[in-house]
Amino acid sequence: MSPVTGRDGLLVSPARAGRPRIRYHQGGSVASDTSVLDTIVDLTAVSVDHSSLPTREFMLVRLAALMAVDAPPASYLANADATEKSGITADDIQEVMIAIAPVVGTARVVSAAGKILRAMGLAIAVGEAELAGDGDML
């Protein structure tokens, strides 16, 4: 996918060209779309392409790193598509947690488990909003 110039002159992916970044609603409320998350997802895909590791192992390492730094739920959400496409299962994620627990500590592993569950909830909420037709992040 080659970049194109968006309305503000910045390079964007063709899928995002012309999409508004902020939506203004009657009554003055503002809702942002998923531009930041989309950009992070794009960066994840590019980094997978530039690594010599097989995709599955790359994403297992990425998940371990997210757990080690106590990443927020949105970070797991940004990596969810690539993780799913690489064939990683819930059992694989549990095995990563077991492997890193002695190094990063049990508190980080428990924190990661909760954040992964929250990321799954965010993914469901965003999907439902898109199906409902409003496309705004909740």
pLDDT tens digits, residue range 125-134? Answer: 878 887 887 5
Q: What is the pLDDT of residue 134?
A: 57
pLDDT tens digits, residue range 19-33? Answer: 444 444 454 444 456
Burial (CB < 10 A; 0-12, 13-18, 19+), residue 70, is: middle
Helix or strand run (H / E) with residue 136: none
Distances in Å between the Cα of 20 and the Cα atoms of 1, 31, 110, 128 are 20, 11, 37, 20
Residues 117-127: what's their mean pLDDT?
Answer: 86
DSSP helix/strand/coil, 44: helix
Q: What is the pLDDT of residue 6?
A: 43
